[in-house]
Amino acid sequence: MVQLLRKIAFPFSLLYALVVHVRNLLYDVGAFRSKSFQTPTICVGNLSVGGTGKTPMVEYLIRTLEGHKVAVLSRGYKRKSKGFVLADQNSLVTDLGDEPFQIHQKFPEISVAVDADRRNGLTQLEVQVQPEVVLLDDAFQHRRVKPKYSILLTAYGNLFVDDWYLPTGNLRDSKREYRRADIIIVTKCPETLTKAERKTILQKLKPKSHQHVLFSSLAYGNQLKQGQTDNHGFDEIKGRKIALVTGIAFPEPLVKYLQSRELSFEHFEFSDHHDFTREEIATFKDYEVILTTEKDYVRLEGRLENLYYLEVAHSFAADDHAILQKSIKGLL
């Protein structure tokens, strides 16, 4: 039914594509201005909606930049607050949104801020925090700010070159805009990706001479977590009545990973950034163990007992890891 509705909406996707192209053209010719900032900025984003692993990529960069004064600026999707908010020890998930709150909890030593107006957010960070570098989360399409360095993510199973514009497809920006990226990372690759498959993807992406194309897979943690420090083994929950609750764009890799750990579970799949209702929470309580993603955990914590999550990170081959590390560290 959903696919049928997407096909019916094709004329609207043409209109959307036209608006996107005109907007980008106005930036390209200087009718709209992009602003650069004195503080080095690294943009992480994609051309489609959700599901490419932006938050794990931001976390990868935070670890890479350890020892530097780092700030993260995000829109704060679905937060209840307005304007610029700088996270502190009293911040709630409703103040920041799920992904920024997750980063704030996980990396309390860095500054995390949210603002839909990225220009204002960067200005406020420069005044209040004076960071050495700002990571712009999900900002590739926000051309009012010109970052020093741009990382474009595209998922192995849904490359932007194979996609189409909303609402028929998942593209929210023009395919041509990939040329603005410094590095393109193909995420969620199978661990068995061959050199021949890489070559085929490179031929489809057609990177510019200045662009590196790297490949990453998702590496899930080998233990279940509660909070930031409480770890549990998979053997502790085998044979129990388990629910998997996901509110992310593409949960298939997580599902396959849990199946590979020989877990039997019922999957409750929701849309990205889903707001869980009391009725849904009541349904989950019928299960002895509730597994979820790290992003969903920060919205479900305190509402369910026996709630666990799995950490996830990008895993690169040695050569790709070295290229990315050298590129990022060379900015400072």
Binding-site residues sit at 48-55
DSSP 8-state assignment for residue 263: -
CA distance 258 to 290: 13
Residues 6+ away with beta carbon under 8 Å from 271: 247
Q: What region, left, alpha or beta, does residue 272 occupy, with left being phi > 0 and alpha being psi -120 to 50 degrees?
A: beta
| 267, two tokens | 């999957």
CA distance 161 to 201: 10
Side chain identity at residue 285, one-letter code? K
Residue 327 near residue 182 (C-beta atoms within 8 A): yes
Side chain identity at residue 326, one-letter code? K
**Residues annotated as binding site for ATP?**
48-55
Identify the CA nearest to 274 among candidates 47, 44, 59, 77.
Answer: 77
**Residue 138: other Cβ atoms inside 10 A:** 21
Report the relative pairing of strands 85-86 and 111-114 from DSSP bridges. Answer: antiparallel
